[in-house]
Amino acid sequence: MPNFIMSYLDPKVTVTPGSAGNQFWALMYVLIIFAGVSVAVICMNWIERKALAHFQVRLGPMRVGPHGLLQPIADAVKLMIKEDIIPAEADQFVFWIAPMIGLLAAFTVYTVIPFGPSQAVSDMNIGILFMLGVSSLGVLGIVVAGWASNSHYPLIGALRSSAQMVSYEVAMGLAVVSAILMTSLNASGTGTLSMIGIVQAQQQQGVWFIFKFFPLGFIAFVIFAIAMVAETNRAPFDMAEAESELTAGYHTEYSGLRWSLFMLAEYAAMIAVSSIAVALWLGGWMRPFPNLLHAPAWDFIFSLFPGLTFGGLAAIAFVEAVRMPTQSFFRIQRIGLAVFAALLGFIALLLLVIAVAGRSADMSVAARFREGIDYVYWFVLKVAGFMYLFIWYRATWPRYRFDQLMKIGWKVMLPISLGVLVATAIVGVIFS
């Protein structure tokens, strides 16, 4: 058994656990990703509420925990202990299974997301196809939920969502194809559909695909970035749950834990599509400028970033703890925030120690750890940038109307993505 566990940590292993047939590590990765995504959703929930509040000259949650840090947990507990209501007229089984479908689809996508060259559950050779296919299954949950509720607003929300998915999936797919075309610009002339392969292709060509054949890669990226907002039903394309129009859209009849499963699925899907964008156009797990700043010293400097990030967060939390008002009411909050700061600081210290210990290129276990942390860090950082964009969109823009959304999907984005695809193919042939 120990050998089985240690085998994956062996520096000579350069494939993902799924591909290596290491079921133990594949299971570990599944558990880590499931827990990690759930935690990320909770963090995202808090950050969204705080960031949105600050966009809107409000404070956001401030009461539950210091700066409302425990608010998502309080909400989760509240949702879990709420009464489980199924409307009398609803189709009970379908109503029950709908949130599961959405959640399952959102989480299954993570099996192929490449957090690093060997940091993924599996390296499927049809990775991107699998990803697109499974992520578009999520809309099935929404449609089924709207239908099973046996109510008008959810039905309209569900129909909107399905129509929206159909029209944006096409442009999205074409944008993805133009990125895949770029992977074939190598000596053998063969591309790859493997997510890890796509990132490695960017590594070999020495350029993120967003900058490849500028502006072709960039346009494809922008089309994908727009389509993924529509795909996940977020503002300004949040037709399916447009609050001011359809009260709550497809989940109007849902409450309690089932409703929170929909929310979990929505946020998980947001992270998933952002991960696709990062892997396809933003160099996946690669740190900035690995081709220009490739000296070992640069490697070391960039490997300090994870620790420094956590250190910075710890410093912010610590300063806020010091700045707390001195009334006795805030005492427990101050202590809590200080403990939180200490926890972040401990993580920062750990990461820095790993970065220093693993700086030699001898491929020891520490070096391997350091490498893995680097990969995951840069990947997550890029995804986090997208998450912030999602919040920013929501704070800034009004909502598109349904027909306008269709118009953009079919009349603007589809022709542009087709044109980009053809242009990429031609330019690729000429330059290779």
Partner 1 sequence: MSDRTSDASNRAPSDVDRSNLDYGTPDKTYLDSNELIINMGPQHPATHGVLRVILKLDGEKVLGTECVIGYLHRGVEKIAENRTYTMFNPYVDRMDYCAAVSNGLGYCEAVEKLMNVEAPARAKYIRVILTELQRIASHQLWLGTHALDIGAMTPLFYTFRDREEILKIFERYCGARLTTHAFRIGGCQYETYAGFEKDVKNFLAFFAPKIDEYEALLTTNRIWLERTKNVGVISGADCIALGVTGPLLRASGVKWDLRKAQPYAAYSEFDFEIPTGVNGDTYDRYMVRMKEMRQSMRIIEQAVSGIPEGPIMGKVPKVIKPPVGEIYHSIEAPKGELGYFIVSDGSTQPYRLRVRPPSFVNLQALDLMVRGLLVADVIAVIGTIDIVLGEVDR
Could you say whether residue 388 binds partner 1 (CB under 8 A)? no
Length of the chain: 432
Nearest distance, CB of residue 159 and partner 1, angstroms: 8
Sort residue 255 into left (φ over 0), alpha (ψ -120 to 50) or beta. beta
Torsion of CA 196, 198, 202, 204, to 10 degrees: 70
Helices (H) and strands (E) in the chain, counts: 17, 0
Nearest distance, CB of residue 401 and partner 1, angstroms: 5
Return the range that interacts with partner 1 (CB under 8 A); candidates 112-120, 257-265, 276-284, 396-404.
396-404
- Torsion over CA: 408, 412, 415, 421 (sign): negative
Q: Is the peptide bond before 215 cis (omega within 30 degrees of 0)?
A: yes
Structure tokens at 100: 């599961």
Residues 35-94 contacting partner 1, CB under 8 A: 52, 55-58
CA dist., res. 170 & res. 167, Å (int): 6
CB-wise, 186 or 247, nearer to partner 1?
Answer: 247
CB-wise, 166 or 301, nearer to partner 1?
Answer: 166
Phi, psi (degrees; rounded to nearest 5) at 127: -45, -50
CA dist., res. 72 & res. 157, Å (int): 26
Coil, strand or helix at 85: coil
Q: Which of 402, 420, 421, 424 forms a contact with partner 1 (CB under 8 A)?
A: 402
Q: Which of 246, 261, 278, 344 forms a contact with partner 1 (CB under 8 A)?
A: 246
Q: What is the DSSP string of 192-205?
A: ---HHHHHHHHHHH
Could you say whether residue 231 binds partner 1 (CB under 8 A)? no
Could you say whether residue 406 binds partner 1 (CB under 8 A)? no
Q: Which of 103, 235, 321, 355 forms a contact with partner 1 (CB under 8 A)?
A: 235
CB-wise, 232 or 424, nearer to partner 1?
Answer: 232
Q: Which of 153, 209, 250, 377 forms a contact with partner 1 (CB under 8 A)?
A: 153
Q: Which of 26, 103, 106, 156 forms a contact with partner 1 (CB under 8 A)?
A: 156
Return the range that interacts with partner 1 (CB under 8 A); candidates 236-244, 326-334, 336-344, 361-369.
236-244
Nearest distance, CB of residue 165 and partner 1, angstroms: 16
CA dist., res. 154 & res. 259, Å (int): 13
Note the helical H segments in 192-295.
195-205, 216-231, 243-246, 256-281
CB-wise, 57 or 430, nearer to partner 1?
Answer: 57
CA dist., res. 261 & res. 259, Å (int): 5
Contact 218, 210 (CB under 8 A): yes
Q: Which of 401, 415, 422, 429 forms a contact with partner 1 (CB under 8 A)?
A: 401
CB-wise, 235 or 344, nearer to partner 1?
Answer: 235
Return the range that interacts with partner 1 (CB under 8 A); candidates 205-213, 233-241, 341-349, 365-373.
233-241
CB-wise, 163 or 342, nearer to partner 1?
Answer: 163
CA dist., res. 384 & res. 12, Å (int): 31
Could you say whether residue 243 binds partner 1 (CB under 8 A)? yes
Contact positions toward partner 1, by CB under 8 A? 52, 55-58, 152-153, 156, 159-160, 235-236, 238, 242-247, 394-404
